[in-house]
Structure 1
C-alpha cells in the first residue's frame, strides 16, 4: 500500500496492490482511494498485470506527483511509476550498472535527489555512490561518486541510508547492527563536504527496526 500526492489536483491518494509470491501466477489487482471530505470508495485501476514486489530495493517515494517503487515485471527488475493524478502506470528499466546490485538484499535505496528519482548503492567501497534518473522516457541515468576518507566511512558504519533532505544533506540512521541503546542520525553536506552527527535520547532497549522520515512537517489536517 502506497501514499501519494497529486500537486495539480491537490489530492492525496492511496494505491493498494495485491502481490504475487511468484511471477506470472496471476494478475495483480490495483485499487485507488482518494483521501478527503465526501464519500470515499476504492476504485479499480487498469490495466491488470502480474507484478512481484522487489525486496532488494528499499523504500517507495512520491516525487512531483509520481509514486516510485521497485518490482519484478515481465521477468525484469524495474521501477514502477504510478502517476497519482492520471492514475496511469509506466515502468523504468535499470541499466546494466544496476543489475548486479539487484541481487543483494537491501542494496539499493530510492530517494529524492533535488527533485529527481535516485538510487543509492550501500555496497560501494569508494564511499557514497548513487544514480540519478535524468530522463524517464529514455531511461537515462547519471552516476555520481563521492569518495570518503577512512574517518568519514567510519561515521556511517553500522548505519542505513535514508535519503536526502530538502536542504541538500544526505542522511543515515543507526541500524540494529550498531551499539545497543544507541540511536543517532548522520548528515553529510555535499557542498561543504562535512559530516555531523545527532544523537537521539530516550531509547532504553536495543531496537530492531527503525524507519526515518525526512522533511516531516506536523499537520493536524484530517485527511479521512
Structure 2
C-alpha cells in the first residue's frame, strides 16, 4: 500500500505490518517501523499518513482490531512521528465504531469513513472520522443527510475533504466539507457526466488535482475500444465543462490514473511538479 502526504510517501507492508517513509526528492528511505503486536493478535489494520502544517511534522497512524473473547473486539490505535522515534506509541482512539477503506490527508487532518455495513443493498456508512495530526485526537463528522452510497471516493478539494459518489448513470455527486473545527457544513456539487457512468471503478477512475479546479476522469472501457490508448476527460469545476484527452500508447482496458500529487517547494529540487502513477485494474 502507498500513501502520499506533502511530498513524502508512506510504504506499508500489510503482511508484516511494517512501514517505511520515502522521500522522492532525496531518494532517502527510512528504517522500517515494525509492528508492536504479534500477527495472530490483530485482525485488520488501517493506516493513515499526514502532515501537521504548524509543526512541519509527518505522522503515521494505524488503527486495528483485536479479539476480546468470542463475540467482542478491542480497537487499538498507534502513532509514529517521522524522523523522531521510529516506533509506535499508543493513543486514544475514542471513536465508537470501525473505520474502513483508504484514508486521505487534508490540511493537517487524516480522514476515513466509519461503518460500511450493508443494509438493503447499500453500505451504511455512519460518519466521517478525522484524526488531527497535531493534537493526535479523533473526531466524528456527520455525513450529508442524503448520502447513501456503496461506491464513493474521499479526496482533497480546495484544501477541504470531499466525497464523490454516484447519483445516476450520468451524474456524480461531489460533497465538500467546509471545516471550522466546531461545526462545519457540507457544500454539494453535481457533475453531469459525458458518458454512461457505471460507478464500479470510481476509486481509480476519477481524480481531483490538488490546488486546481480540475477533475480528471477515465472513460469506461469497452471490449471494442482501441487497445493502445485511453480516453481521459478534463473537467473544469468553475466552467462546468469537459474536454476529452486521448493518451496514445496505453492499453485502454488495463490502465487507469491512480494518483496525482505535488511536491512542495521545501522538498523539490525543481519548481513544484506533478507525477502521475498508473496501476493495472
Interval containing the TM-score (normalised by the shorter chain): 0.7 to 0.9
How big is the shift at 1:35? Answer: 1.0
Is 1:95 aligned to residue 138 of structure 2? no
Kindly provide the CA deviation profile for residues 68-111 of structure 1, in whole angstroms up to 9, marking residues without a partner as x: 111229x961111000011010011213201x32xx2x2x2112
Of 211, 214, 218, the match for 1:169: 214
Is 1:3 aligned to residue 49 of structure 2? yes
Of 173, 189, 214, the match for 1:144: 189
**Across the two proteins, how many residue pairs are aligned to each other?**
205
For the residues of structure 1 that align with 2:95 and 2:197, how far apart are their CA atoms? 43
**Structure number with higher relative contact order (C-alpha < 8 Å, ≥ 6 residues apart):** 1
- 1:14 maps to 60
How big is the shift at 1:204? Answer: 5.6
Assess, with a 3 A threshold, how the Cα gap between structure 1 residues 217 and 96 changes in structure 2: closer, same or farther: same
Of 163, 178, 183, the match for 1:119: 163
Q: Retained in 1: the 8 A contact 2:169–2:197? A: no
Kindly provide the CA deviation profile for residues 5-56 of structure 1, in whole angstroms up to 9, marking residues without a partner as x: 11111011111111479xx8312111111112x542111111455532335x
How big is the shift at 1:199? Answer: 4.1
Assess, with a 3 A threshold, how the Cα gap between structure 1 residues 176 and 87 changes in structure 2: closer, same or farther: farther
Kindly provide the CA deviation profile for residues 172-203 of structure 1, in whole angstroms up to 9, marking residues without a partner as x: 23567775554453210123333234444554
Unaligned stretches of 5+ in structure 1? none
Is 1:67 aligned to residue 113 of structure 2? no
Is 1:28 aligned to residue 75 of structure 2? yes
Q: Retained in 1: the 8 A contact 2:78–2:90? A: yes
Assess, with a 3 A threshold, how the Cα gap between structure 1 residues 138 and 196 changes in structure 2: closer, same or farther: same
- 2:235 maps to 188
Q: Retained in 2: the 8 A contact 1:166–1:215? A: no
Please give the TM-score of this superposition, normalised by the length of structure 1.
0.73
For the residues of structure 1 that align with 2:140 and 2:235, how far apart are their CA atoms? 31
SS at match of 1:123: strand
Q: Retained in 2: the 8 A contact 1:14–1:34? A: yes
Structure 2 matches for 1:50-61, cutoff 5 A? 51-55=97-101, 59-61=102-104
Q: Cα RMSD over matched residues?
A: 3.5
For the residues of structure 2 that align with 1:47 and 1:204, how far apart are their CA atoms? 44
Unaligned stretches of 5+ in structure 2? 1-46, 117-123, 270-281
For the residues of structure 1 that align with 2:73 and 2:125, how far apart are their CA atoms? 17
For the residues of structure 2 that align with 1:138 and 1:95, how far apart are their CA atoms? 13
SS at match of 2:146: helix
SS at match of 2:176: strand
